[in-house]
Structures are given as structure tokens and as C-alpha cells.
């Protein structure tokens, strides 16, 4: 097996270990379904802004360390990691999330306020993506931007804006409740 495959498998194993630890830490807490939904909703409100910051800092690191157009295996691994994280964040944004929880808990976590906040966040994500597309269009008048770079920038800004906005709205909703 190559270094790339070993690194990918090690990353996946680390994610599974963290998920198992989180799951096992909470198993001894007896919670009713509404208590669990409230706990998860507050945890999501805390985690979304942090995820957006981590996602954006990963992108800043990626673009600041790109070689002159040649993609070496480390850049390919970074690109794959970005793509996987982007898909996971999009799935979390587009669905109720908490895929490992029972349906009753997921339904309670996805209340009317959360759906409204998610829709507002998606609107912001779309507007940021379109704004970055316009900025890249203008940039191409002065510099060369590859299609992969443009897609990467547009998706990163759109996803980060949506996740950050959703987190801010959810935190505000919990603070006002």
C-alpha cells in the first residue's frame, strides 16, 4: 500500500475512534428523548461556528502552500480531505444531522426555528458563493485561475458562510430561549 492510502486509512480510523469515544462518553447519561434533543441542539450551536473557522483555516493553509500549478501527492491528499469535509458539512447542513441518533431525537432537534435558521444559512451560503464567483470572474481579467481553484474557492466560501451563519443563528436562538 502506498503512503497516500496509509494516510487516508489512518485519517478514517482516527475519525472512527473519535466518534466511538463521543458515543461511549454519553452512554451512561440517562436522558429522555426531549433532554437529549435539547443537549444535541445546544452542542450543535456551539460546534457550527468552530467548524466554520476550522474549515476556513484549512482553506487558507491550502491556498497559501500551493505549488506553482503542479499538484504533488500532498496537495492531492489535501484536496481529497477538503472534498470529504465539504461533503460532510453540506450533508449536515442539508439534513437534520445527528445521523447516529434515533429518529425521534432527530425530529425534535429539527424544530421549526432550526429549519428557518438552516434556510437562512443556505441563503447566505448561496449569496457568498455567487459573490465569490463574481470576484473570481473579475480576477480572471488580471490573472489566471484554474477551474479547480475557482470551484474550490466558491465552494469553500459558500459552505463556510452557511455553516457560520447557521451556528450564529442557533446560538442566538438558544441564548434568547
- What pLDDT, in 10s, does the model give residues 58-87? 887 777 766 555 556 667 777 888 888 889
Q: What percent of the chain has pLDDT over 90?
A: 31
pLDDT recorded at residue 165: 95
Mean pLDDT on 108-122: 91
What's the rounded Cα separation, in Å, for the pair 59 and 78? 9
Does pLDDT of 131 surpass 90?
yes
Helix boundaries (H) for 27-146: 33-64, 73-94, 103-109, 112-139
Residue 174 has pLDDT above 90, yes or no: no
Q: Is the pLDDT of residue 151 over 70?
A: yes
**Is the predicted pLDDT of residue 177 greater than 80, yes or no?**
no
Long-range pairs of 44-48 with CB within 8 A, sequence gap ≥ 24: 44/97, 44/98, 44/109, 44/167, 44/170, 45/167, 45/170, 45/171, 45/173, 45/174, 46/171, 47/167, 48/163, 48/164, 48/166, 48/167, 48/170
Q: Is 149 helix (H, G, I), strand (E, B) or coil?
A: helix
**What is the SS3 assignment for 36-55?**
HHHHHHHHHHHHHHHHHHHH
pTM of the model: 0.78
Give pLDDT, residue 72: 62
Highest mean pLDDT among 61-65, 101-105, 129-133, 171-175: 129-133
Residue 56: what pLDDT? 85
Asked if residues 58 and 82 have their Cβ atoms less than 8 Å apart, the reply is yes
| pLDDT-derived band at 96, boundaries 50, 70, 90 | confident
Amino acid at each position: 500500500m502506498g503512503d497516500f492510502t496509509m494516510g487516508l486509512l489512518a485519517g478514517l480510523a482516527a475519525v472512527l475512534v473519535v466518534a466511538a469515544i463521543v458515543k461511549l462518553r454519553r452512554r451512561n447519561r440517562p436522558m429522555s428523548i426531549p433532554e437529549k434533543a435539547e443537549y444535541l441542539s445546544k452542542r450543535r450551536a456551539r460546534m457550527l461556528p468552530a467548524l466554520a473557522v476550522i474549515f476556513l483555516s484549512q482553506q487558507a493553509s491550502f491556498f497559501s502552500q500551493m505549488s506553482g500549478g503542479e499538484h504533488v501527492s500532498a496537495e492531492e491528499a489535501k484536496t481529497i480531505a477538503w472534498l470529504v469535509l465539504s461533503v460532510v458539512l453540506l450533508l449536515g447542513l442539508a439534513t437534520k444531522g445527528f445521523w447516529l441518533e434515533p429518529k425521534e431525537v432527530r425530529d425534535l432537534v429539527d424544530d421549526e426555528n432550526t429549519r428557518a435558521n438552516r434556510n437562512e444559512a443556505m441563503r447566505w451560503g448561496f449569496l457568498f458563493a455567487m459573490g465569490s464567483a463574481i470576484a473570481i470572474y473579475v480576477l480572471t481579467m488580471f490573472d489566471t485561475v484554474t477551474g479547480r481553484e475557482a470551484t474550490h474557492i466558491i465552494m469553500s466560501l459558500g459552505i463556510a458562510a452557511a455553516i457560520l451563519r447557521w451556528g450564529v443563528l442557533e446560538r442566538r436562538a438558544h441564548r434568547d430561549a
